[in-house]
Structure 1
């Protein structure tokens, strides 16, 4: 009788845990799965904490309910698999604002990540360049082309639309700048439409028309108990052996599989496995790939990341607008790039005593010096800027929390998708039992990370000989 498979998952974030659950469900009985997490905490950027006696997210806040085809997103499917679907809650306030000329204006409708499909609707926030979006008789984008979002939008609509609309929208998701982010990776639906349509307005409308819609259906969800409940349930349901504070320092090919070097130099442990799934950011993945796949490592290691800090304040009964939060363009000169009014946006968090939780995101790609402020200075700056934007002094916080995420958000430059495809093709050919998964390759957001982990797990199962199903 053949011995059970042994699979190592490096990285205990939601990607690695989703992969572990998929292996539990699809790999043959007896498969031994071990998750190695170098820190003491599972979940990666999913981390629920507490402030002023109230649960609050110190990392990712929510997940998309639907996937691009209109079906249930991978995050919802995982939540359902873990028996937590009854805990899903949705925002009670969905309207967000933009900071424009120092004040708040509603985010205009009819845009796709800030790119307008109706120029009149955005005129109060940003004035499109006159007659710029002309039909030149050919599609905006070639069959295999990619370019920066900012380059396309500036050419068609002018600078103000990029600076006041697109840049803050992308900055809120990626902490990056529109002029450096890949259209194909960050806005794939628009890129597909741009390969057919001759104008950007036409491409936006075509992408919007192609997107499945369910009127009245919620777009986002989270868990009433916090997203850490998803992490805990996934770790439990996976049946995997969880190794915390276990850094994998080296990875080497053997005649039958892989050897991992785990732990500090003085207490080195060598582990033999049949397959390895790397669910860590690109740079640590590149270090592990340097031995068995140096060319792949060079490509993977070239992916850059932005660092951010999340500053959460508990304020006694402040006067807040009925908004979910706001986005701040870099042109406004604020340290804050986005803010969320947690206890307004999420009805299940509202308190009878009026205590409000506000979270501000600080840090844009290329502006890491702003994060060198002390926690006290960050809190003071955020408090001051929030008061300025809201037009009235906010009360002093009764509690505060600063969460720093170094190298948190991948920066997908043009051509990212093609580079990742080449990396995976090379690995499948040379090392089919070694897989890559995570935001660094497939995109940000909980559903994307879950799907990435599950897909990598399926690749491992196929390489080892097929599933039990």
Structure 2
């Protein structure tokens, strides 16, 4: 019923990074971008200030959360920045538990969702060992599951420390499934402003953002705040962004009859 990645989805960005480096790309980490500009003075290309470095590029794909995108586009595209500034986010925390299999009897299935009307603090639970076979294979003596905490507009619960989130999750799990065993390990992972919200009118907002951005040659946007938070939606958004800038660069090549130089200095698109 579900498709995943052996070892977990956390291996996906690592594989992408490895593929980028294998093709000669450079990845800068711990280096916030503070400026993005485009002008004739820069040869019609883009100037990116990242930490202490100034990078020149023929094209830029802006794949950052809405607030960061709004900040970087404020000068070049005030209209897009204003629209991006209106995108709201929800924060959440994931609480992961490991139990001894002999002590953890769980219902069949891959987990459950909790509607707000139930009045529980957790909003969902995933029985990871039952959902993903590789977890059960790697840890046959353990049962791994997780809960998620935090809905849109809920901030108080996420201000609690990790031990409190573990305690409230255990309470709600016992109420829902009867699980009262003591976990052998727990981990709390917090995602501040991790989930963009899609209210009525979101599609129209995204269309306006892309209309504004399309006026800037060699610039495209992608990410969870546009077409969906899931990995497939984000990948599709990235493909669309790359297709757009490829079209922009082909247009430049046809006008200049010269190869377009990439960020790292090689010829081609």
Report the TM-score, using the length of structure 2 for normalisation.
0.86
The answer to which of 403-412 and 415-424 deviates more is 415-424
3-state SS of the aligned residue for 2:232? Answer: helix
- Where has structure 1 moved over 3 Å in runs of 4 or more? 351-354, 466-469
For residues 441-467 of structure 1, what are the alpha-carbon distances to aligned partners after superposition, in whole Å with 9 as ceiling and x for unaligned?
111111110111111011111101169
Q: How does 1:207-222 map to 2 (within 5 A)?
A: 218=1, 220-222=2-4
Tell me which residue corresponds to 2:258: none
For residues 291 and 454 of structure 1, what CA distance do their matches in structure 2 show? 26
Q: How does 1:274-293 map to 2 (within 5 A)?
A: 274-293=58-77
Matched, 1:411 2:197: yes
For residues 172-220 of structure 1, what are the alpha-carbon distances to aligned partners after superposition, in whole Å with 9 as ceiling and x for unaligned?
xxxxxxxxxxxxxxxxxxxxxxxxxxxxxxxxxxxxxxxxxxxxxx4x3
Deviation (angstroms), 1:230: 2.5
After superposition, the CA RMSD in angstroms is: 1.8
Q: How does 1:23-62 map to 2 (within 5 A)?
A: none
For residues 307-329 of structure 1, what are the alpha-carbon distances to aligned partners after superposition, in whole Å with 9 as ceiling and x for unaligned?
00000011112011112101111
Deviation (angstroms), 1:237: 2.0
Gap regions ≥5 residues in structure 1: 1-217
For residues 349-379 of structure 1, what are the alpha-carbon distances to aligned partners after superposition, in whole Å with 9 as ceiling and x for unaligned?
2257531111001000011211111001101
For residues 5-39 of structure 1, what are the alpha-carbon distances to aligned partners after superposition, in whole Å with 9 as ceiling and x for unaligned?
xxxxxxxxxxxxxxxxxxxxxxxxxxxxxxxxxxx
Q: Which has the higher contact order (CA 8 A, sep 6+)?
A: 1
For residues 68-126 of structure 1, what are the alpha-carbon distances to aligned partners after superposition, in whole Å with 9 as ceiling and x for unaligned?
xxxxxxxxxxxxxxxxxxxxxxxxxxxxxxxxxxxxxxxxxxxxxxxxxxxxxxxxxxx
For residues 132 and 49 of structure 2, what CA distance do their matches in structure 1 show? 44
3-state SS of the aligned residue for 1:242? Answer: coil
Gap regions ≥5 residues in structure 2: 254-267
For residues 280 and 392 of structure 1, what CA distance do their matches in structure 2 show? 40
Report the TM-score, using the length of structure 1 for normalisation.
0.50
Tell me which residue corresponds to 1:397: 183
Tell me which residue corresponds to 2:162: 375
Tell me which residue corresponds to 2:6: 224
For residues 436 and 294 of structure 1, what CA distance do their matches in structure 2 show? 15
Matched, 1:250 2:35: yes
Tell me which residue corresponds to 1:82: none
3-state SS of the aligned residue for 2:3? Answer: strand
3-state SS of the aligned residue for 2:192? Answer: strand
Deviation (angstroms), 1:233: 2.3
Distance 1:392 1:310, change over 3 A: closer
Deviation (angstroms), 1:347: 2.4
Matched, 1:271 2:55: yes
For residues 246 and 155 of structure 2, what CA distance do their matches in structure 1 show? 41
